Structures are given as structure tokens and as C-alpha cells.
Chains A and B, each alone.
Chain A
């Protein structure tokens, strides 16, 4: 079993809440709110007008710029507005609002059973057209990862099935229920990148998924399924590459700098659907879980469905719910509006009771216990970053590798003084140039 060397933490996993719940289809929403920016990079330009009828799978937003991804309608109906809604990350973003006309009419896609024989460029074209982005949460447009500059030689692709965030189980369920499709997605990636070798990394708390994936991949000697130690943040790209291939992405660099492309399980599934069926990314699996959800489930949800509707399908919230998080409890965003729509990057909705969360509004002095240094997977000294930021000495924080922090939150999790270290680091990052 493999793992990364520096740091890492073991928060309670709570996967049991939803890991045995088979993926269930979420009722298509009465109103879909589809953000024009569901990815890192330039937002899309709306292709439709208010009053126009659209069908599910129809292109409604066109990318402007290379780092971007198109968006598609997830339901059939009439466009009733193009207006600002809160995104899961809290910002107001322009969205296309579609009122469902209950026909559930879909755009016509061409199925291509011989997809694997197509050229790399053709497959890339389908992935690009389908609007696929990193579905683990970072939402980096997949096509960009698949188009490395010539001087970067890629020799490995990894499917990220670590799902190291507590509570979340959507990738786990996809691997259990659609293992063939995930492997096919990996094969497409190998073909597109011209690779012999493909890897899948799964934390060993998902033994059934490891067994399943190994079983499906057993016929193919070029695909390795790796069992990884259950340790947060195993699913961070840099950690995953270190664990599986023992390569260190250089500071400030990208996985492609060590010849690796990493894609999430859900993304691999979407790639398969795009290449075989021509289906754009308009639905995804979302874990709706947490101690404050009546019956936690994994839902297959149309993009643009509101958080409140998903929660409703899971029996609603318990009375003690005080926080609803889009994503996992380590890196996710607390949402303030339950009308917030699901986007391509929403891997989970976690509702928590007060006993589960930590309040860091009032925090103590750093006692230099060094727990954060031990926990940091990047080998940083979070205590120094925290104190420098607190004192407004941002330039000094930079000297302690401020920009190597990817905000996994391990330091903050272990801090006995309950210091909001990650937030102090975020602040410092905005105050100095890299």
C-alpha cells in the first residue's frame, strides 16, 4: 500500500453515512439555474435568449478563450432569464435559467461504438465539445490538461479515486456501479495522450471499489489499480502522484511537469459518455450526506438543480442543521443560499450539526506545538505563515513558501489553538505577488 511521505491527517471519515446508498436519479428540477462559469478560466458567452426553448444537452454557452469549457442545457424548457445567482463558491455568477416544460426532450447525440479507434484529435474534440472539467472540485477544463505544451512529455495518466475528503462517497459509488465505464474513460485518456500506462489510485477504505476495479482491469496489463493509505489529502494531485509514481511535482509546477495527467473518477466517466455517446456533461453524481441529512444518498443530478431540491429528495434537513457545505468538510464552501445550483464541480453537499463543526471565530495564540508542521503535506511551516499573516508581515510569509500551500486545511484541522491558519494564508496570498 502506498502513500505520500510528508504530513497528512486522519479526520473521522463518516463514509458509512452514504457509501452503501446506490446512486439514485434525482428528479429533474422545475427550474434549472446553469452558471455560465463552472470552471477555472474565462466564463462562457450565452448563446440563447430569454424566451427561447432549449432541449436537454443543447449548447447554451460558448467558451471564450482557451482555458474555458462550454455549458449545455440540462433540461428541456424555456429560458426565462439570464441573471446572477450565487455559485457554490459564494460569488454571484451569471446563469441561464431554464423553466422545465416536462417533456424531457434531449438533443440528438450520435452514438459511436467504435470510439476507441478514433484519432486522438477527434476524441479530444468530443471531450472539448462536451464541456468536461475536473469534477473533483477544482473544475479545471479537461481539454487543457489533455493539451500539454510540446516540451512537456506525458508518460502517465492517473485516475483519482482517492476521495479523501470525509463524508463524500460519489466517486466510490461511481467506481462500484460503473467500473467498466471508468476504465473505458481511462483508456480514452491513454489513447488521447498516446500512453501505454494508466493508473487508478483508490484509498483503502474503499476496498470493494479496489476489488471491483481490479476485477474489471484484470484483462489489461497496462492498467494498474493502486491501493493507497487512507490519509487526507491523498487525493490532492501532488500527493497522489507522489504516492503512486514517487514523483514530486516541483514547487509552483503542475503535474505535467513530471509527465503526469490526473483525472477524477467522475471525469473519466464523463469522458467515456462524451466519446461513446456524444453526451455533454449535464448531469453528475453528488453525495448528499452529513449528520444533519435525514437519509443521506448519492444522487445523479442534472446540473443547475438547487441544493434545496436535492436535500428534499434525501428527506430534508434535521432540525440541528447549522451548516451546509458544497464539497467536503476540509476544502468545501459553506453556502448561504440553498437555491445555489449544482455545478460540474459539486462532488457533494454535506449538512452538518453544530457538534460536528469547529468555530474558529475566537482563536488563541500560537503555542508553537508544531502539529501543523507535522501535518503539512507540503512540508511547510504553517505556524510561521499564520503568525506573519496575523501581524500583516506578508512579505515574510512569502519567504516561508506561502505560495506552495494549496489550502488543504490539514494544519487548521490539527491546530489546538483553533487558529484559522488557511484563511490567514489565503489573506497573505492576496496581499503579496507570487
Chain B
């Protein structure tokens, strides 16, 4: 044994097989069922929009890192994940420039200009979407009628269930979908208007269950988020007074499921302390239901998460972990 070949480094000498690329690519893969459902219902256009977001994300990451003279980190999968999430948060009907510009805002501005992976304050995909919604409001709120038949060119548009609920009420919603049971059924399967990757509850939950099984995400944020929305919708969501709302419609529509499992759980922009994560989830839920019921937009998940992103560092500071042997966790 030639000992001059021995590696000298500090402990620990071993490590888990988990890595940032593995996490990012696994999360991206877990989104495939939901994306597939989107393509199934909204046609090839959905695929094109997602592809444009992906290309925009990867190109933006490459561009900024090249400009800054930094190492190119496309292979870590984080720009890919942002791209795929951004695509899934867009209507399938948007013109081609919206995905590209939004992806630039998401990856170049929100992430890279703040210091790159790990240093962004806001969820990149959501900032990209918020930018698009505010800039091209009409395009971003024009929803294709879902059609399972791979309708090549489907010019028909409609409102989302939440939009109908907000503008015309529960009665109209039931009229459109037939009865309550078929409304729930269509919502769970994802046969409804909406952003192309947000509609199928069952597909999203399959992907999320995989992530929970692999311990990539915990249930603390999603469950506290969903529970708060459900309770809020039940208490305040009905037209006939308190406690007459339909929590199921609120849970299964809009971007809530995708947001709760995939956006609010974004490592970089959520708290790391257990109790803080629950507070974060409750905050997201509260703001979502506030916006859905009282603000101008039918959907509030995106703004709720973005607002709570600002609070994540503060929450981490305030809800410190219990330190072993400490009399009381220091605030």
C-alpha cells in the first residue's frame, strides 16, 4: 500500500446517496402523471406550452450562469423542475411568448439573480406565473374546454370551476356538471378547465404519494395547508351563512393540490423547522381562502404561497427547534 495515495479528509467519511440532482429529477418525474393527464385533456398544445417553459428555463439558467462566469448547473435538474412546474401552471391556450418570458422571469430573475439555487426568496415557478398573470391577464385566464379526444384544435373556451363558483355560485356549478357526485368525480379525475397540470387530483396525489414515500416531502405543509382551506371553505364559503360551504369543491379545484404538494413544499422557500412548517401551511391556507372568497381573483393559491415565502425565514427564526438539554427553546 502506498500511503501517499491515502485520502485525508475530515469526518464523517460516508454519506447518504441523496443528492440535489437526484431530488430534482425524482420530483420532476413524479409530476409526469399529472402532466400526462393535462396533455390527455388539453391536447398537444399542453405539451407545447410545457416544452416552451422547459426550454425557456434551461436557456435562462444557462444564459445567466454564462454571463456571470459561474459553473453551468443545468444537470442538477432544478431549472428543469421549475420549467415543468411553470408549464403545469399555465393554461394550454397561451401564445408561445408567454411561457418563454415567464420562464425567464422565473429562473433568471427570481432564482439566479438572487444568488442561484438555494438563495431565492420566492418560488421561481410561481413568480413566473404571477408575472404572466398580471402582464397578460386575458391570455392567462382563457381556459380551453377539456376534451379527452385529443382534439387537435379546440377553440372552445370556458371558465374554471372556481371561476364559476365565484361569479355565479354553487348552483351554476352543479348545473354545468350535472350533480354533486359527478362534479366531485370530474374534479378528482381532472376533467375540467384549468391550468394544464393542476386539474387531475388523482394524478397529482399519485406523484405526491411517491414523494412522501421516498421522504422527499413531509405531509406537514400540505396537510396543514389543505386542512385550513377545507375548514375555511366550510365555515365561510357558503352563500347560506356560516358552515354551509363545500370544502370538497375548494380542495379539489384550482391549483390547490398542486400548490400544496409541489409549490408550498419547495425546500428553498419554506421553513425547515417542523412546527414552523405547520404554521407556514396554515398561513398558506388562510391566505388562499381569503383571496378565493374575498378578493378579486377566483384562485388564491399562488399569491398565498408567494406571500408566505416572505415569512419563511422569520418563521424559522421564531419557531426554533427544541434543543436537547435546553431548559426551554430560545425564541
Q: Which residues of A are in contact with B by a Cβ distance under 8 Å?
A: 6, 9, 11-12, 90, 166, 238, 242, 248-253, 308, 311, 316-317, 321-325, 327, 329-338, 352, 356-361, 364-371, 373, 376-381, 383-384, 400-401, 404, 407, 409, 412-418, 420, 422-423, 426
Contacts of B320 in A (CB 8 A): 381, 400
Instruction: In the A-B complex, list the 8 residue pairs whose CB atoms are closest, starting with the nearest.
Output: A409-B12, A358-B15, A365-B118, A370-B272, A251-B325, A369-B267, A416-B18, A378-B324
| B117 in contact with A364 (CB, 8 Å) | yes
Contact partner, B12, options A90, A308, A412, Cβ 8 Å: A412
Contact residues of A: prevailing secondary structure: loop
Closest residue on chain B to residue A362 by CB atoms: B71
Q: Indicate if the CB atoms of B14 and A330 lie closer than 8 Å.
A: yes
8 Å CB interface, B310-331 against A: 316, 320-327
The chain A residue sitting closest to B78, CB to CB, is: A367
Q: Is B5 a contact of A322 with CB atoms below 8 Å?
A: yes
List of A residues within 8 angstroms of B76 by Cβ: 364
Bound-state Cα–Cα, A369 to B22, Å? 13
Smallest CB separation, B85 vs chain A (Å): 15
Q: How far is the CA of A349 from the CA of B9 in the complex (A)?
A: 15
Q: Please tell me if the beta carbons of A367 and B267 are within 8 angstroms of each other in the complex.
A: yes
Are A368 and B268 CB-contacts (below 8 A) given A11-B14, A409-B12? Answer: yes
The residues of B that contact A383 with a CB separation of less than 8 Å are 272
Given A242-B324, A317-B1, A378-B323, 17 other A-B residues pairs in contact with their CB atoms under 8 A: A238-B324, A325-B13, A329-B14, A330-B13, A352-B13, A365-B117, A367-B117, A368-B272, A369-B272, A380-B321, A401-B323, A401-B326, A404-B325, A404-B326, A412-B12, A414-B16, A415-B15
Contact A329 B12 (CB under 8 A): yes
Q: Are B3 and A338 in contact (CB under 8 A)?
A: yes
19 A–B pairs (Cβ distance < 8 Å), ordered by A: A9-B16, A166-B14, A238-B325, A248-B325, A249-B324, A251-B323, A329-B14, A331-B12, A332-B11, A334-B9, A338-B6, A359-B9, A373-B274, A404-B324, A409-B11, A413-B12, A414-B18, A416-B16, A417-B118
- A329-B13 in contact (CB<8A): yes
Q: Restricting to B1-52, which residues have a CB under 8 Å from any CB of A?
A: 1, 3, 5-16, 18-20, 22-23
Specify which of B5, B16, B273 lies most central, judged by the most chain A CB atoms within 10 Å of its CB: B16
Q: A359–B316 Cα gap in the complex (Å)?
A: 30
Counting chain B residues whose Cβ lies within 8 A of the other chain, the interface size class is 35 or more
B23 touches A369 (CB 8 A): yes
Residues of A near B238 (CB, < 8 A) are none
* B interface residues with partner A (beta carbon < 8 Å): 1, 3, 5-16, 18-20, 22-23, 76, 115-119, 267-270, 272-274, 316, 320-327
Q: Which residue of B lies closest to A321 (CB)?
A: B1
| A358→B14 contact, CB < 8 A | yes
Set A365, A367, A413: member contacting B15, Cβ < 8 A: A413
Closest A-chain residue to B21, C-beta based? A416
What are the residues of chain A within 8 A of B1 when measuring CB–CB? 308, 311, 316-317, 321, 338
A323 to B321, CA, bound (A): 36
Interchain nearest-CB distance for B57 vs A (Å):
17
In the complex the two chains form, what is the Cα distance from A420 to B11 in whole Å? 9
Residue of A nearest to B5 (CB): A322
Asked if B272 and A334 sit within 8 Å, CB to CB, the answer is no
Q: Which of A248, A357, A418 contacts B13 (CB 8 A)?
A: A357
Q: How far is the CA of A248 from the CA of B324 in the complex (A)?
A: 7
Distance in Å from the Cβ of A307 to the closest Cβ of chain B? 10
Distance, CA A426 to CA B9, complexed state (A): 14
Check A322/B13 contact, CB under 8 A, given A248-B324, A364-B117, A367-B267: no
CB distance from A187 to the nearest CB of B (A): 30
Name which residue of chain A comes closest to B18, CB basis: A416
